[in-house]
Structure formats: structure tokens, C-alpha cells
Amino acid sequence: MFKQLVNECVIDLHIRPDGPVLIKSGIATVSGPDMAFVTVLRNGDWEVYLPGSSLKGVLRSHAERIARTFTPEAACDPFAKKDDPEPSCSACFDKRKDEGENGLDTPTAYRDSCLICQLFGSTWMAGRLATTDAYAVGEPSQPQRRDGVGIDRFTGGTAYGAKFELEVITEGTFATTLHLRNFELWQLALVGFLLQDLKDGLIRIGMGKSRGLGKARGEVKDVRLDFLGPKAPQIDDGHLPLRGVGSLFDEAEAYGITTPDEISVPFEGELTSNGVRTTAIFPLDSFPWAQIAERWVNRVQGYSMPEAMRRYRGGGRR
Ligand SMILES: [Zn+2]
């Protein structure tokens, strides 16, 4: 995205099934961004893990739902093609290119994308948020086989009466790390909303989640903030100025990023610095998400689709 890294938020997260999470079945998998568990050979045993790309997909679709409750046009449908009435941001850029528009560089792609593409990326630009694969902590969870009794409840009846087996996991702890790089404060705040919903069990994982399976809970272990370069903040009277990319990156305005982008939060810990990186660590639930929440709310409520995209996206009607 940018040539240099100016800030990064690293979130260590534990995810636990809260009831059966379907990892495998005889049913053709549902389309869309499902978070399917898969197995990998690790330490000599087959072990269940959660691919980071699947986790990111689930977080993305939840973020889209949150955004649309505020402002429908703030989130495109990333699966919508060029011929659909409301193409995705990527498809809109493809059309702009097809029509001979010049100057479709990365700043333009960022500036004109919907808020969700700005955070999660698209075929036109890398996202700010990355998720690692989630591996079992301690004893790996053993998948359990269950037969298909009652399966019609969540296959919608298409496989009614068919004989097949399911594999589920019902316990275990999976550790993953979210990396948010070169973020704006509203993006960090939106991640806070996602973490809260994960904690509250509102984000389902695995297959069959639309049918009530896949309840899980996420727990933040710690949040680390890194600032790089000469504009890294210092503690001032028990407060830490959190700086988004708009306060750290000189060319931010070309990307349509708000400048300055800073909010002061109470911080009781100590900053450490190795001369390159200034680091603040917030253990467990101590990160002040509530204090930055309004950055997301204001950004999404005030969102208006750029005219260059409105020509193709139809004004966010859905
Ligand atoms: Zn988009």
C-alpha cells in the first residue's frame, strides 16, 4: 500500500467453539466466505486448524453487515461482477479501466474504494488487515464424527434422508494474530467492533452457520501498537496519542485520508523503543476501544460514495 510502514496494531486472539462447529460433511459446501476448518500434519499428527484467509473472510462479511446498518453504500458486495447492477469496487475499477481511464493508481484505488475494501483490500489493492492461521493451543481438538440425524434442519431439506457423516469440533482453543498495518483510526475502531462481536458470540464460523451451527467466541489476549519513524508518539501526562496514518504519512492526502488523525487515550503502561519502533502493549481487555469507537461511527455515517464510482455502483441501492 504505502512504501513504508508507519504504524501497526498486532492483536493476539483466542477463538473457542461454543457448541458444535462443523468442519466437514458430505454436503456440498455452501458458497461464500465460510470459515472452514481444515487439517494439517503437525508434530506427527493430523490436527485441525482454522485458515487465516477463512477467518479474514468471516470478519469481512461481518464488517460489511455492520457498515450497511449505518450507510448501505459504505460496503460493496465483493462478489458482484461487472454486469451486476451494483458491481464490487474492483469491478467498477475494471470498468473504469475498460473505458480508457488513465491514472488508476493505488492512491486512486484507495480513495475511491468503499470502506470495507479500504480495510480488507480488493483485487486492486492490498488490504490493511491480515490474519494468520489459527492453531490449537495445548492439546489439539479431536474432530468428532456424527451421523446425519437431524441434518435436514441445516441443509434446507435438499439432502433429506441422505446418509452421510459430519465432522465437528466442540472444544479447544485456537490462537491467531491479526495484523493491521498503516491504519487509519476509524479502521482500528472498526476492528474493535469486530472483536466485541466475536467476544459476544455474534460471529459464526465453519460451515452451516446460517443454519445455527458454528457458534464461537473470541478473546483478546493482548493488543500491541507499534509506531515507526520520527512522528512516533510519546506519553504525555498518562495519555498516549494514538496516531493513524493521516498523522504519520506525508502523502496521506493523495489517498483521501483524513489528516491529522490522532486521539489521546489513557495509558498506564510504558512505551518501549528500540530506536526504530515505539511500542505500547495493552494486555487482555485493557485497550480503550470505547474511546476510539466514534472514529468508525463518524466515518461510516459521513460516508458518501465518490462520483467516479457512483456512475457504476448505482448509488448503493440494495
Ligand atoms: Zn468495496
Q: 84-115 pLDDT, tens per residue?
A: 999 999 999 999 999 999 999 999 999 999 99
CA of 110 to the centre of ligand 1 (A): 10
What is the DSSP-derived secondary structure letter of residue 150? Answer: T
CA of 147 to the centre of ligand 1 (A): 40
CA of 30 to the centre of ligand 1 (A): 22
Residues recorded for the chain: 318
CA of 90 to the centre of ligand 1 (A): 7
Which residue in 298, 212, 256 sits closest to 113, CA to CA? 256
CA of 78 to the centre of ligand 1 (A): 6
CA of 119 to the centre of ligand 1 (A): 9
CA of 305 to the centre of ligand 1 (A): 10
pLDDT tens column, 112-124: 999 999 999 999 9
- 306 in Cβ contact with 255 (< 8 Å): no
Cα three-residue angle 203-208-214, rounded to 5 degrees:
40
> What cell does 259 get?
489528516
**How large is the greatest C-alpha to C-alpha distance in the chain, in angstroms?**
67
CA of 116 to the centre of ligand 1 (A): 6
**pLDDT above 70 coverage of the chain, percent:** 85
- At residue 47 the predicted structure's pLDDT band, cuts being 50, 70 and 90, is confident
Q: How far apart are CA 118 and CA 44, in angstroms?
A: 40
- 304 in Cβ contact with 72 (< 8 Å): no
CA of 6 to the centre of ligand 1 (A): 24
Distances (CA, A) of 232 to 8, 245, 248: 11, 11, 8
- At residue 5 the predicted structure's pLDDT band, cuts being 50, 70 and 90, is very high
Range of lowest pLDDT (24-38, 68-82, 206-220, 265-279):
24-38
pLDDT reading at 59 higher than 70: yes
**pLDDT above 90 coverage of the chain, percent:** 66
- At residue 147 the predicted structure's pLDDT band, cuts being 50, 70 and 90, is low
CA of 52 to the centre of ligand 1 (A): 20
Determine the 3-state secondary structure of 309 from DSSP.
helix
CA of 209 to the centre of ligand 1 (A): 24
pLDDT reading at 82 higher than 80: yes
CA of 186 to the centre of ligand 1 (A): 16
What is the DSSP-derived secondary structure letter of residue 260? Answer: S
CA of 313 to the centre of ligand 1 (A): 10
pLDDT the model gives residue 30 = 42
CA of 228 to the centre of ligand 1 (A): 29
